[in-house]
Amino acid sequence: MPDETMFIMDVIIYYLYYDIVFDRQKFPKSVPFVDLPYEMIEFLIKKTQKVFEDEKALIQFEAPVKIFGDIHGQYSDLLHMFKEMSEKNKQEQCDYIISKSTKYLFMGDYVNRGKQSCEVICLLFALKVRYPQQIIILRGNHESQAITRIYGFFDEIKRRYLIKLWQQFYNCFNHMPLVALIDEKIMCMHGGISKDMHSFEQIE
């Protein structure tokens, strides 16, 4: 990864995590909106989509792993989860947002319903680009053009940025992996299994 990309991802992670959770005036009761520059988010989407394009629809890896369910724009909850995990593993992590010896699996539905979907998806995307082997982000049913148009993400992006950015987001969503297989025996996905599925090769 080019040094420029790593630097920009670190900047995004700083403003979306470190600058908030270590400020007692902001966290946990007054988590602010974080309006990243438009051009920075465009760059982030472009780099994240490239990472997704290089991955298969089925991601296989070994434990240990921490698994996360629907976040739905609940930015303060996401920050709280990362902060709690860091404090419980402080001897290894110090104050870093993730542990370098653990993988993190996110099961979909990052946007819509909550008020800060943009912060949620940008933080997860930055972590994905910065730590592509540790951060696994699966697609949920809300990561689509039709659903984001109805349940809030479109309106949030339209209000805070431009509709063009929403289009770039859902184009990126189209490249997300769908299924994770842990230790060759634990299958994780956001939705159910089709009756027409008989082998993992059908997903790959």
The catalytic site residues sit at 142
* String of DSSP letters for 70-113: --TT-HHHHHHHHHHHHHHTHHHHTT-SS-TT-EEEE-S--SSS
Amino acid, single-letter form, for residue 117? S
Q: What is the distance in angstroms between the CA of the first residue and the CA of the last residue of the chain?
A: 25
Name which of 128, 25, 145, 124 is nearest 70 in CA terms: 124
Record the tokens describing residue 124, joined without a space. Answer: 């997860």
Tell me which residue has tokens 């780099």: 47
**3 state SS for 113-124:** CCCCHHHHHHHH
Q: Could you give the 3-state DSSP secondary structure of residue 48?
A: helix
